[in-house]
Amino acid sequence: MPEPASLDASLASALADPTPTDRRAAAEERRRLALDDRKRSFLRMVSHELRTPLNAVIGFSEILSQELYGPLGAPQYKEYATIVHDSGVKLLKLVNQVVELARLEGHVTDIKMTPERLDEAIEDVIESLRAEIARRDVIVHVIGQGALPTVLADGRGLRTMLINLVQNAVTHSPAGGVVHIAAVKIGGEIEITVRDQGPGVESAELPRLLQPFEQGGSPLTRKNEGVGLGLPIVDLLSRAMGGQLKLSSSLGAGFLARLILPVG
């Protein structure tokens, strides 16, 4: 029977001389980490190079449209400046969504899970969408507001998901319609629901809506803007946080999104 000293020597030898499989695994892990670093660097560069000029366009066009430094002269100039501003805002939103989708699909998003109060998150979301909610003449009703549960989620990611779901509901609601938001604890999970009174979609269409750049309805009859990135982003973010997104709808019966996250 080997002496204890010889056993220690054998163990040290094994640890010091990894097998070919261990070496391949270590090399593969180093390549993966290097690739993730390159992806992060690329996304940071793209994000900066696109967002910086867009923010300048939005800012200066807002100054012009509001004539902060005096009248522009012909009224068409103010109208055109407003068009430039609104177009810049839409393009910036698209850039943000594309970058976010690339981060999620490339698994390079930094997720930091912390307890998040839904009351605060939903309040932030409604405030950021207040102008659009008013413009579309929609009512957003939060059931149980002030006593909503706490979820375990990434703070920024949680608000991104809620903004996309609430904005989707508001966009597809008729004038005077109501968007209902609720949250209930079911076991070790929190189910957040966002329901609208819009036209809905056929249930067979629901899986397609989770694919990037896919939208409900026919392109010839679709009335609402958007490129179909909101729901895929919510789906990917929820899975990155250990949750899931479930959709329910039928023609003429509105649209229901159920976001399921761990209890905080």
Give CA–CA dist 227/41, Å, rounded. 26
- Give the per-residue pLDDT at 120: 96
Give CA–CA dist 209/101, Å, rounded. 14
19 to each of 11, 13, 23, 201, 247, how far by Cα in Å?
Answer: 13, 11, 6, 56, 48
| Angle, alpha carbons 180-209-182 (nearest 5°) | 15
Per-residue confidence at 16, pLDDT binned at 50, 70, 90?
low
Least confident of 34-38, 43-47, 50-54, 237-241: 34-38
- In SS3 terms, 153-167 reads as EEHHHHHHHHHHHHH
- Give the per-residue pLDDT at 98: 82
Q: Is a pLDDT exceeding 80 seen at residue 122?
A: yes
- Give me the long-range contacts of 89-92 (CB less than 8 A, separation at least 24): 89/58, 90/225, 91/54, 92/51, 92/54, 92/55, 92/58
pLDDT digits (tens, 9 = 90+) for 174-209: 999 999 999 999 999 999 999 999 999 998 888 889
Least confident of 16-20, 55-59, 151-155, 240-244: 16-20
What's the whole-number average pLDDT of the chain? Answer: 84
Q: Is a pLDDT exceeding 60 seen at residue 10?
A: no
- Give the per-residue pLDDT at 49: 81
The answer to whether the beta carbons of residues 113 and 243 sit under 8 Å apart is no
- Give the per-residue pLDDT at 11: 44
Q: Distance from first CA to last CA of the chain, Å, rounded? A: 54
Angle in degrees, 0-180, between the axes of helices 118-128 and 155-171, rounded to the nearest 10: 50
- Give the per-residue pLDDT at 50: 81
What average pLDDT does this structure show over 82-88? Answer: 91
220 to each of 14, 17, 223, how far by Cα in Å?
Answer: 67, 65, 9
What average pLDDT does this structure show over 109-127? Answer: 93
Give CA–CA dist 92/62, Å, rounded. 14
57 to each of 155, 226, 251, how far by Cα in Å?
Answer: 29, 21, 40
Which residues are CB-contacts of 220 (< 8 A; sequence separation ≥ 6)?
Answer: none
- Give the per-residue pLDDT at 108: 60
Per-residue confidence at 58, pLDDT binned at 50, 70, 90?
very high
- Give the per-residue pLDDT at 102: 78
Angle in degrees, 0-180, between the axes of helices 75-105 and 230-240, rounded to the nearest 10: 40
- Give the per-residue pLDDT at 221: 37
- Give the per-residue pLDDT at 104: 78
Q: Is a pLDDT exceeding 80 seen at residue 32?
A: no
Give CA–CA dist 232/30, Å, rounded. 30
What average pLDDT does this structure show over 1-29? Answer: 60
What average pLDDT does this structure show over 45-49? Answer: 74
Number of Cα atoms under 13 Å in the Cβ half of residue 133: 16
pLDDT digits (tens, 9 = 90+) for 210-221: 887 766 544 433
Buried/exposed code over 13-50 (b: 16+ C-beta within 10 A; e: otherwise): eeeeeeeeeeeeeeeeeeeeeeeeeeeeeebeeebeeb
Rounded to 5 degrees, φ, ψ at 47 are -60, -45
Per-residue confidence at 8, pLDDT binned at 50, 70, 90?
low
